Amino acid sequence: MESKPCIESLTVKNSHVLPPDTNSHGTLFGGKLMAYIDDVAAIASVRHCRKPVVTASTDSVDFLQPVFEGDTICLEAFVTATHNTSMEVFVKAITENLLTGDRKVCATAFLSMVAVDENNEPTPVPGVYPESEQEKWLHEGAERRRLHRKERRKESKELAEKFGTGLPWMDRS
């Protein structure tokens, strides 16, 4: 499989923030923004590998600025690194007040997406290479983030084992 440049997976999605998308503070629901982030990351990763994908993890979603009703939200995503069957995708969300033109980065996130075959089994993906300074900076930190992800996943599995499917306050043995 031939490696591809990061830019080849670039995906941009714009949406108008309407009243049903907002909470009682008149700002975009965090969950709505997270759904947009997952969607744009999935598109970018499929664009990279040209295979179906599933979300393996979301490292973090850092909400940096509120997104108000009437604003637009613009999400940009691209694959920053690959590892056998997985892809790391960087997502940046920008809010814009259309009346004033004021734009702010409102959120950033890293997601891990895994390519799957027709049996929903992980399948290899092409490598990726950075070209711009920003892409190189993200690419250089990818291995550190991958190791952190693996450690966090291990902790999540331990939590799942410890707490199981029952209610924790019900088990008094």
**Stretch 40-50: mean pLDDT, rounded?**
98
If residue 60 lies in a helix (H) or strand (E), which one and from where to where?
A: strand 53-63
**Stretch 25-48: mean pLDDT, rounded?**
97
Residue 60: band (very low, low, confident or very high) from pLDDT cuts 50, 70, 90:
confident
**Stretch 74-103: mean pLDDT, rounded?**
97
Whether residue 168 has pLDDT greater than 80: no
> Which residue bears the tokens 């009682």?
24
Lowest mean pLDDT among 40-49, 60-69, 94-103: 60-69
Q: What is the pTM of this model?
A: 0.90
pLDDT in tens, 108-163: 999 999 999 999 999 999 999 999 999 999 999 999 999 999 999 999 999 888 88
Identify the bridge partners of residue 73 per DSSP, sorted by sequence position. 15, 95
pLDDT in tens, 65-78: 999 999 999 999 99
Q: Alpha helices of the chain — where are they, by DSSP H?
A: 30-49, 133-140, 142-163
For each of the domains in the chain, give its residue range(s) and CATH number, in order of start.
Answer: 4-162 (3.10.129.10)
Measured CA to CA in angstroms, residue 43 lies from 55, 78, 81, 137 at distances of 11, 9, 15, 22
Residue 166: band (very low, low, confident or very high) from pLDDT cuts 50, 70, 90:
confident
Q: Are strands 128-129 and 103-115 parallel, antiparallel or unpaired?
A: unpaired
Distance between CA 9 and CA 32 in Å, rounded? 23
**Stretch 63-92: mean pLDDT, rounded?**
97
- Contact (CB, 8 A) for 48 and 42: no
